[in-house]
Every structure is written in C-alpha cells, then in structure tokens.
Amino acid sequence: MITRRQFLATIGYTTLAGFASATYAAVIEPGFRLNTVTYKFTPPRWTPGLKLRAVLLADPHLVEPHMPVRRWQRIIETANALQPDMHLLLGDYVTAHPFRTAKVPVAQAANAAKALTSPLGTFAICGNHDWWDDLTAQKRGYGPTVAQKAFEDAGIPVMENRAIQLKKDGMPFWLSGTGSMIAIHNHHWTSFESRADIQSTMAMINDDAPIIHMAHEPDLFPEIPDRVSLTLSGHTHGGQVRLFGYSFITPSSYGNRFAYGHVVENGKHLIVSGGLGCSIIPIRFGMPPEIVVLELG
Ligand SMILES: [Fe+2]
C-alpha cells in the first residue's frame, strides 16, 4: 500500500516531469536545437558521375521572439559551413502566430539570406505563409508576392513555376519550382486556391538532364511526373510533434504519408524537411529544427 508521503512524491515528480517536458517542447527544442540531417543516395534518371551537394533550409518562419533575424543568421552561417554546391530555400519565411511579440518583415529574411555562399548559388520558392502574409496578393489573386520580390531584390532567384538549367563539373541538371498549393484563401479560410503549375513548369525543360523540383507542400508529390529525379518539400515541419516515426498532426491531405523524411513511391523520390521554425503554435517535440544536406550521385 502506498503511503501518503509516496503518493505526494509521485504527484510532485509527475508535475515536475510534465513541467520539464513542456519547457523542453516550448522553449528548448524549438528555440535552441539545430540538427543537420544528411541524405546520401543516387536518385533515378541521374547522370552517372554527377555529384551534387545541396543544403536545404525550409520553413524558418521568422518571428520574434522564437526565430529572430540573428538566429536565422546563425543558421545561415551553419549552412555555409556545410559547403554545398548550392543552397535551396523551401519557403515560409514569415509567420504571424498569436504567440509572437513582433513580426519580422520578409525583406529582413531575404537580406540575411544574401550571406549564403556556394558555387552554384541560392535558389528559393515561396510557401503558403509568404502568400498569406501579402494581403495585396491575396486580394488580386496572383503574384509576385512581397516575399518573391524581396528575394529577387536580394539577388536570389525565386522558382515560382519556372525551371532553369545549372551545371556541376560540366554536367547539366534542371532545378525547377512551383508555387504554393494553398496560396490564396477565401474570407473564411475554408477553401484555398493553388498557384502550383507543374505542367507549364515542366514544359520549360527541353532536354534529358535530371530534374530536381522544389514544391513547398509535399501534397504535390503525386502530381509530379516520373521524369523528375527528386522532389524537395517542407511545409509539414514533420508535424512539429513526432514520436516513434509518427506525426500526430500534419498539414497534409495525406496524413503521415508525406509528413517527414525520404519517401519513395513507385520509383519516385521525395525529401520532406522537418524545417526550422514553427507556424501555428511555437512547440516542437521529437522534431528539432533541422538543416538538410543532400549528397546526390
Ligand atoms: Fe507552409
């Protein structure tokens, strides 16, 4: 039989453990941790001998106090230290969750990203939050968004439904990107319009070189043609709370299927980054902020 002292001690320890877990999930994991996750493989339809190293930064969601510009700058320093051939930015540079003390204008995120340096350069796409944050673009129903213009002003090409050819060691490959699938929302936030145009983007590709495609939301993956060697996404944040390989809440019509990591389906490859920041609630547990390194070929 448990004594009164044992009972009180159990309550005390349970409360302490709950408080410690809550502090970890609300402060330490989202605010102070940074993992580097590496995927090393040869995608399908890849050029023999083409070795490509890319660093992906997804969903920084700059906002005070959780992701101030100075923290984004430290992440950028880490991304440079990884010495990739190119840096790829996968969207959602801002957020406006109710737990903020101040917003960070997207121009500050873009200006800081100028410090990214690599031989092939930095390329970006925009995420749904970049669209939602631009009330003028929402009203008129099309871009370019303030975010797109900010990155372009910073000298960083934004791959909004476009493709370009790059070369590594003289070997060509295509880098393409599409707009957000939930770019425009109605007044009640009950329906969304896509600005992802995969057909016209693929129509820009005029040879057999491998394609790396950036799509903010992984839900576009089923629509990506087999011709694409690798699709790169963010958006889900790995569910922000992920335990035993399962994300409990995922902003995806496919639930856990595209929530996180390296997905291979019917010979097609998708990498979903767990991202860096938080959008709705500033909590992460079992899904620390991450930089993704790709070693392809
Ligand atoms: Fe997103």
The rounded Å distance from CA 73 to ligand 1 centre is 21
The confidence score (pLDDT) of residue 105 equals 94
Give the pLDDT score at 280.
85
State residue 109's pLDDT score.
98
CA 134 / ligand 1 centre spacing (Å) = 14
Query: Per CATH, the architecture of 35-296 is what?
Result: 4-Layer Sandwich (3.60)
pLDDT of res. 188: 92
How confident is the model at residue 12, as a pLDDT? 54
Which stretches in the chain have pLDDT values below 70? 1-20
Q: What is the pTM of this model?
A: 0.93
pLDDT at position 4 is 61
Between the CA of 180 and the centroid of ligand 1 the distance, in Å, is 8
Query: Could you write out the DSSP letters of every residue in the chain?
Result: ---HHHHHHHHHHHHHHHHHHHHIIIIIHHHH--EEEEEEE--TTPPTT--EEEEEE----BEETTB-HHHHHHHHHHHHHT--SEEEE-S--B---TT-SEE--HHHHHHHHTT---SSEEEE---HHHHHT-HHHHHHT----HHHHHHHHTT--B-SSEEEEEEETTEEEEEEEE--TT-EE-TTSS-EE----HHHHHTT--SSS-EEEEESSGGGGGGS-TT-SEEEE-SSGGGSBEETTEESS-SSTTTTTTSSEEEEETTEEEEE---SS-SSSS--BS---EEEEEEE-
Expressed in angstroms and rounded, the spacing between residue 235 Cα and the centre of ligand 1 is 4
Residue 234 CA, ligand 1 centroid: distance in Å = 7
How close is the Cα of 275 to the center of ligand 1, in Å? Answer: 10
Where do the domains of the chain lie? 1-32, 35-296
